[in-house]
Structure 1
Amino acid sequence: MGSGVPIELLAHLRRARDVADRNYAEPLDLAALASAAGVSKYHFLRCFAAEYGETPMQYVTRRRIERAADLLRATNLTVTEVCSLVGYTSLGTFSRRFRELVGVPPTTYQRTQSGARIPGCYVFMLGLNSAIPEKQPGPSATYRRLDTTNHEETP
């Protein structure tokens, strides 16, 4: 990416990003991700942001919201269930972040998605990661690119 991050640090940053990808639903903080990379948290924060264009916690938030969108689109789980499954403890925070990244509230997004839905009991029975196919994120992917055109905002 030409970010000026030392090449020997890139594998460590990828390792931390992989931890975030695998454990997005778990409580993650800067110290845990920096530990996975094997560097101090402030050095990690600077290098991660320089390489990927967002802070580690912005990355975790984006991954959680991407996964939530997948669940809202493909299952009949409630917004509250999805909120909990992707690692949020506050429905208000989840809804605010979802709207910031997707452009519409999670309830509106779910209502506008069509197609067959996987029953929530299967999601819980099979496990979250095996039940719903996940989109592969790109380093510069933003979820505002979701098809949110022609959706009316609710007052």
Structure 2
Amino acid sequence: MARRSARLGNPPQIAIDLEEAEDIALHLRLRSFLSAAHRAIARARQALDSLALRARQAQERLAARQAYEASGYVVVDELGRPFKTDRLRREVHRLMAQAGVRRVRLYDARHACLSWMANNGVPDTVVSAWAGHSDLSFTKRVYVHPDPRLEAGSDKLGELLAGAA
């Protein structure tokens, strides 16, 4: 058990026996390792998702041959053309229905996600990059709305997301 001792004129010292120190060091190393492993797994998932999307687009390019347009956009149809907003909206609403979630406008989902990130400790620069904004002040003006009443909702959302993982 840790014991505190203080001498006159000296700051308090904490005495820890060797076994406790080893346990603390092991705990810290394990925590650091698990944190790094979790980040590596998340990056690997993102890379696999990206590769899967690229593989699907390559198959579509081969199938479409000359008709495929290399537009450079990420969200494209089978011919490489950017999704028009009405088609994207219909597709997202179909996926929402399939997932059994409430149907919302894409703009509202984007705004809610970015606002949640901004109000839950994600650095403003990261939120701005996710939004695709080049002007950080615009992101802060539009998406950063600190409101203490949102904490309860944030805690509930955190619990929900933690339970889904």
**TM-score (normalised: structure 1):** 0.29
- Based on CA coordinates, which of the two structures has the bigger radius of gyration? 2
Higher relative contact order (CA 8 A, sep 6+): 1
Which has the larger share of helix?
Answer: 2
